[in-house]
Amino acid sequence: MTPSQSNYRMPAEWEPHAATWIAWPHNASDWPGKFAAIPWVYAELVRVLAQQERVEILVQDATEEHRAAGILARNGVDLARIGFHRWPTNRVWLRDSGPIFVLDSAGQPAITNWHFNAWAKYTDWQLDDQNPARVAKLLRLPSIQPAIALDNGRKRRLVLEGGSIDVNGGIDGQATLITTEECLLSDIQQRNPATTRDQLEAAFHQYLGIDQVLWLDRGCAGDDTHGHVDDITRFVASDTIVTAVEPDTADDNHAPLAENLRRLQAARTPQGKQWNLVQLPMPRPVVFRGQRLPASYANFYIANGVVLVPTFNDPRDRTALAILAELFPNREVVGIHCVDFIWGLGAWHCMTQQQPAAQVP
């Protein structure tokens, strides 16, 4: 059965987690010239997360597990809250290559195993594409491979990265998903060639229980994933959306973010109401070696009891943290320095994947 036939839905990120999944950094080419600092950035993030929920960490081998455990222990991490899994990966961005969990009508989890092809940019993705199946086997969960029917009667597995979508869980009514046309509807990206908007919306309904899709325009400057929505626009409640804006008309982010805001202002909920929209500033441009990096406060991660927010030694850090603290009054909002980490072209949401807790209907 497909998830929709079994009444599966993709839960919102703020719903209870059983764990957070990450992969330990090992590919120095992702942070050329800065890699030495990255494991310690990971250790700080894991320290905060492990105070709230279990953290499952993929490592290349026993040697890396030993090294990671040592760094975590020196950073004050309770290793009893950590699970290590010796599953080699190409890269660490589990938001995109990890499993996308769904819950059935009885509140029990399953896994949707979408195809991962390294953002249609790299040739080495084969290890990362195995992540969902490995997690499903370990947890003994049902696993579904989303696909669409072709004209010749065959099926083609669908490509989808977790960072390209955000959902409101659908608890208080019909479920809504946000994404961008730049990422999912551009033919040149070669994620799902010749796949239409209607086909993608049907797949989101079939496999994630989605009833409505809000299509934004483009992502932020410096984003090498072709417009992932988790750098610009996020659900923070079933009827509330936070979206990044840039008032400086000379900045490359001004026009696309203004267009996204316009679309959201014109959009309506499935019940015909306006969305509650909250504007989030962008940090000043972060540039390293002449390259604009995808620095954004919107790449926060919502965990049990805490929200992890990337910060950039910027006066706007305080403003962004205050906005998010007001939106999450029952969670601690923690800023973690991201200037070195963003050189890898991702932040806290990109590196994490939540495993929802089983729920009682």
Determine whether 350 is an active site residue. yes
Structure tokens at 268: 């309506």
Measured in whole angstroms, the distance separating CA 60 from the mean position of its chain's CA atoms is 22
How far does CA 146 lie from the centroid of its chain? 18
Q: Name the token pair of 58.
A: 């993929």
Q: Where are the alpha helices (DSSP H) in the chain?
A: 38-50, 62-74, 94-97, 131-139, 181-184, 197-208, 254-266, 316-327, 348-351
Give CA–CA dist 297/317, Å, rounded.
8
Task: Give the C-alpha separation, 84 to 130, whole Å.
Answer: 16
Query: 330 Cβ partners below 8 Å, 6+ apart?
Result: none
Which residue(s) pair with 149 in the sheet?
Answer: 155
User: Using CA atoms, how far apart are residues 21 and 58, in angstroms rounded to an integer?
Assistant: 8
| Distance, CA of 43 to CA of 87 (rounded, Å) | 19
Helix (H, G, I), strand (E, B) or coil at 88: coil
- The percent helix, strand, coil of the chain (3-state, each to 5) is 30, 25, 45
From 183, 220, 338, 350, the catalytic residue = 350
The Cα 160–Cα 154 span in angstroms is 19
What is the distance, to the nearest Å, from the Cα of residue 296 to the centroid of all Cα atoms in its chain? 13
Beta-ladder partners of 118: none
Check if the beta carbon of residue 217 is closer than 8 Å to that of residue 180: yes
Q: Rg of the Cα trace of the chain?
A: 19
Chain centroid, CA 67 distance in Å: 26
Using CA atoms, how far residue 171 sits from 1, 46, 102, in Å, is 22, 29, 13
How far is residue 10's CA from residue 104's CA, in Å, rounded to a whole number? 9
Residues assigned a catalytic role: 350
